Structure 1
């Protein structure tokens, strides 16, 4: 079977969703394909994993986003292959779909950097499946430790970027408030969180002032820092660091970076750093006419030629910009080079603490004011009114009443349900 569309968008992350929505508003016939029937808000996945919010707060059915945009068709299917020369997409079911213009916003996969044992034993945190798996594993680990009074509970988080810092901070906060309250102070005293990165400082993209505040805050809530030293081995019972340090642990969280996935590798496009595609300033692939690559699948540059970070704000803006260029392609207009509006960076470090560097001039905030700003910005960015209400309720319940969402583990299945 072969269908033809004006535009096919593969991937319903920030970039793909933004591109399809913008094109739909212009009446362009779009097919949006994703292996899941929901859009996930990745910046808050660590909060799902640490039971701060439920799954329903960070996921939204894709069809509900486009219910009023009749020119956009949503298909839930796994894409097995893309042919960039002929602008075709083949699903795992064998269907072939053709478009005038192809948009690849296929995301990325965890990059374990060939670290022995990491892919087998570490838990990544890039999808809602990863987050629920991590939440389940952490709850099971605590349940087991509660029956073993002499066994320490060591959790290792690899990666000192925003995801690693936020995850380590949230876990340390859980030990202080949740484990103490719902298990026992004795168990909380046996729990430790380690943060490891081969880079000498946390939050490498932030200013030295923000890095120092983050370092002090993490230490204050009990996170043990191992900075400037890489992980050389991951085992089922712990990790080994490059300086010879051995950390016994039954849980390793991998927040060490991303790379392009197998779909890009088999697409025929030339891959650059991190397995991603180096796109032109107008967001098209330099070697394939009529093919746009966006989001975590692309290396996107600013007006100076510097690579932009893999952030949701970059992906969202690139999706909208690509839609304008695609509309110009379809109507005889002229593409324009992408102009990114730098909104800065944010990272939460625990209850009442965060760092924020806002705008191109990097207005720096630390502490409670940055924490409130973080909450406000992420609440505004969530897709859907129901999702915003659920997140707000969870934050009030967790940060004010110290009663977080609970993770329920059913039987022997490795599944988690945020309530």
Structure 2
């Protein structure tokens, strides 16, 4: 394989894929390096974990995505080191690749904030592997509860009241309420519980008050028990302890408490800001490293007014396209331009037919079925291929009408 390229992109998330596609359309010789050979749609991983959709609905191979672009290559490898001054990437296989321009879009990892036991005992939800592992643990716990008879139940604690935590807790609660009774004895569902916990006083703390209240009310109606305003001090194999001296039993603790930049960024030598991410220049380049761009969850980006931009898939996707535009300018002697983010707002799925949304820069507020339809529309558009879109729509329709779970959670057998 050739080891010299015009551009190397490290990481195949929303930003990395968008950059490679845009560069490939222009005939730029670009190499994507990722540990996986597929793109994963992270906003729907909680639905994989709860068997609402299948793994194939949220994954698509990079080679399939880029087959129309002869100048784009893919390398499946783990990155050992990047040299932001020399513009080189070295893999764990010992190979070193060089580019005129380097793009770091390697995503993020769970941020446990040094909470004792969290990394060892909690389940993050940032990759397909994480989703399958969590789903597999849920199945094992339910099977164990069934063996224990009518007194057995599964207790789940979801840490983090942001969109990921809210969506995950809502999906698990609806499983306990509607799906589990179809497949397990009545006692398993009746004795199971899901708690959503956070140190802040409200769920969806960044949303408007009306949407916060709607989300909290609907979660509680679905069976989610809220414990807000007290931070987690320890995660144990059988429970979670809190700063107020209380504790909750938990066979499964899901960690949705925040993200930090991954190891590639941490080892790059670039100055790290909030969350370990790089505070990039307005044109998405890294300060002090000419010819290096940092995108997506690896970057702290701001708009023209200096306001912090959200860590959202749509923002990362726009950043990838914009970076490609600036890279083309770099390669042809043109002028880079500051990133102009088109603010599409925020949204979160709460449960069956229920969601909240704040659309656009003016934050037009929606709750309930209308927000649910908006959520569906946005996520269908963001999915990476037509097959994935059609399959997800069929799965959602089947789930909405029947509460069936035809998807199988694949994982390691019980020890």
1:249 equivalent to 2:246? Answer no
- Residues 334 and 48 (structure 1), Cα distance of their counterparts in 2 relative to 1, 3 Å cut: same
Q: What is the Cα deviation at residue 260 of structure 1? A: 1.2
1:118 equivalent to 2:118? Answer yes
TM normalised by structure 1 equals 0.97
Mapped to 1, the partners of 2:257 and 2:40 lie a distance apart of 20
Q: What is the Cα deviation at residue 179 of structure 1? A: 0.7
Q: What is the Cα deviation at residue 89 of structure 1? A: 0.3
Mapped to 1, the partners of 2:247 and 2:282 lie a distance apart of 45
- Match in the other structure for 1:351: 352
Is the 1:218–1:349 contact (alpha carbons within 8 Å) kept by the matching residues of 2?
yes
- Residues 61 and 409 (structure 1), Cα distance of their counterparts in 2 relative to 1, 3 Å cut: closer
- Match in the other structure for 2:316: 315
Is the 1:136–1:407 contact (alpha carbons within 8 Å) kept by the matching residues of 2?
no
Mapped to 2, the partners of 1:303 and 1:151 lie a distance apart of 55
| 3-state SS of paired residue (1:407) | coil
Mapped to 2, the partners of 1:192 and 1:178 lie a distance apart of 14
Q: What is the Cα deviation at residue 413 of structure 1? A: 5.8
Q: What is the Cα deviation at residue 185 of structure 1? A: 2.5
TM normalised by structure 2 equals 0.98
- Residues 411 and 82 (structure 1), Cα distance of their counterparts in 2 relative to 1, 3 Å cut: closer
**1:80-135 deviations in whole A, cap 9, x for unaligned?**
10000100000110011000000000001100000000000000000000000000
Q: For 1:344-383, what aligned pairs fall within 5 Å after superposition? A: 344-383=345-384
1:404 equivalent to 2:405? Answer yes
**1:208-248 deviations in whole A, cap 9, x for unaligned?**
11000001001111100011111001000101011111111
For structure 1, the residue ranges without an aligned partner over 5 or more in a row are 415-419
- Match in the other structure for 1:181: 182
| Bigger mean CA offset, 130-139 vs 301-310 | 301-310
- Match in the other structure for 2:268: 267
Q: What is the Cα deviation at residue 184 of structure 1? A: 2.7
**1:169-216 deviations in whole A, cap 9, x for unaligned?**
000000111111111332111011000000111111111110000010
Mapped to 1, the partners of 2:282 and 2:336 lie a distance apart of 10
Q: For 1:15-414, what aligned pairs fall within 5 Å after superposition? A: 15-149=15-149, 150-408=151-409, 412=413
| 3-state SS of paired residue (2:3) | strand
- Residues 410 and 272 (structure 1), Cα distance of their counterparts in 2 relative to 1, 3 Å cut: closer
| Bigger mean CA offset, 337-346 vs 403-412 | 403-412
Is the 1:2–1:96 contact (alpha carbons within 8 Å) kept by the matching residues of 2?
no
Mapped to 2, the partners of 1:61 and 1:246 lie a distance apart of 43
Mapped to 1, the partners of 2:407 and 2:383 lie a distance apart of 21
| Bigger mean CA offset, 143-152 vs 217-226 | 143-152
Is the 1:105–1:293 contact (alpha carbons within 8 Å) kept by the matching residues of 2?
yes
- Match in the other structure for 1:417: none
Q: What is the Cα deviation at residue 56 of structure 1? A: 0.2
Is the 2:132–2:411 contact (alpha carbons within 8 Å) kept by the matching residues of 1?
no
Mapped to 1, the partners of 2:407 and 2:187 lie a distance apart of 21
- Residues 275 and 408 (structure 1), Cα distance of their counterparts in 2 relative to 1, 3 Å cut: closer
Mapped to 2, the partners of 1:2 and 1:407 lie a distance apart of 40
The size of the alignment, in residue pairs, is 414
| 3-state SS of paired residue (1:338) | coil
Mapped to 2, the partners of 1:409 and 1:337 lie a distance apart of 44
Is the 2:51–2:409 contact (alpha carbons within 8 Å) kept by the matching residues of 1?
no
Q: What is the Cα deviation at residue 167 of structure 1? A: 0.1
Mapped to 2, the partners of 1:409 and 1:19 lie a distance apart of 32
**1:269-327 deviations in whole A, cap 9, x for unaligned?**
11111100010000000110000000000000111112111110110000000000000
Is the 2:152–2:188 contact (alpha carbons within 8 Å) kept by the matching residues of 1?
no
- Residues 264 and 413 (structure 1), Cα distance of their counterparts in 2 relative to 1, 3 Å cut: farther
4+ long deviations beyond 6 Å: none
- Residues 411 and 311 (structure 1), Cα distance of their counterparts in 2 relative to 1, 3 Å cut: closer
Q: What is the Cα deviation at residue 147 of structure 1? A: 1.1
| Bigger mean CA offset, 176-185 vs 58-67 | 176-185
